[in-house]
Structure 1
Amino acid sequence: MRRFFLLAFFMLSFSFSHAQLFSGEKIMNNENFDRQRWSWGYFLGLNSYDFKFKYEEYDPSPTTGKDRIVETNMGFNVGLVGNLRLSNNLDLRLEPGVSFNTRGFQVTKADPDTYREINSTYVHIPLLLKFSTDRLNNFKPFVVGGVSTSINLSSNENNPDDNYAGQFRMTTNSYYYEIGFGVDLYLYYFKFSPSIRGVFAINDELIRDNTSNSLYTGNIEKMSTRAVFLNFTFQ
């Protein structure tokens, strides 16, 4: 899934950048766009969510749930962009949005009863710094990084039922750091910016089962989200 995101990003960026850098067309689109103090826009995109597990102790036995299996799927992002120009090559961005995703979680391949489908709806709010190169014709690469928080509307955090009743529970609030890269493409009517970004949770997101030696959660010291966002921004 993540290889697909990378391949899609590079193919799209290469096709646009090749046209801008090597064509005979040298007309500057939206020449004064980056002189604005504030600019606004929206984004649409795809995502892939995963989990990273840290275990309390090593135990290769499959009955303890040591090697948990996560099934990743493609999800969808949508949101708004607020951009504050700090300098010619530096911007501060707020990108509140909503992410929808479904993951599969299974303790062992041999026992299908341990499978849980995790439907997640996140209100995701990143605060990012965007570092750009100087503009070359209608093409400008950039890197972006920052911190974010999210509200998991499907967390089940306060649900009294645990995995033994078929309920997988996570924390409602999570905190992340993010890093990525992309390219600004200045078109005739607007600026189009494809970007790819890694999202890494800082806190432990797992709500333990009511049984301390649970097959599902008993040996987990920390469970945190890892995600890849492929966004298409229009400003």
Structure 2
Amino acid sequence: MLSLTLEAQLEGVTALQPTDTEENPYYYTFRVSCTSCHETHPNWVSFNRFETHEIPGSRGEANFVWKCRLCTKTHSASILNAPKAYEAQEKRNSQKIIEMDCRGLEFVEFKPDGDWEAKAVESTTTFSGIDLLEGEWYDYDEKKGEEVSIKELTWKFQPLNPRPFLQAHVGTEVLIRLKWGQTEYKGKLESIDSYMNVLLRDTEEFIDGKPTGSLGLVLIRCNNILWMGSADSVEMTDLELK
């Protein structure tokens, strides 16, 4: 899981956010990298949080489904919630804009392509159609009689703490993929410890998507896990786990 954060200098405006509604969705634009082969795709990719696509070989859906051209594996990502507004502050610091559930991929660069909006700090003026592609924006608040601006933008990706996700899924069936060998484990999440090691019960092992047998109670160290998710969102086949 990743969060996209923003650090910026706001003068005279606050509540900066992408214009993102179901009637007028914002298309988030990224460069994407495969976590299996570490290939970074040279082209920009765009998707919105309202449109979903089927994940091949799965009952699940995602906002973005991508097949790595080097290792040919299919990965996915979804935006978890509506964007959060960046608020003006005396001292600059990073604030979270969106959170994303990334499976088998990660985003390495963001381009603020599309319209943004903000509100004046000391008047009722609302600014829309803000273009941040140049890295700065200037306008004039006629009600206040002052210039307003947005500048010094810095975009970063931060990993999200997976503990709330794991705690919420204790007692449910999950699927875990290891970092090597095309090995997956499917079982009931029994518990997690303070080091994020995972204990599964009634565990089944799959290699290259093919079942190899039941293992019962299994402890998996966190540094061996590539990704994990609810077993309800994927489908095992005797050909491949997508």
Fold shared, TM-score > 0.5 on shorter chain: no
Give 1 or 2: higher helix fraction. 1
TM-score, normalised by the number of residues in structure 1 = 0.30
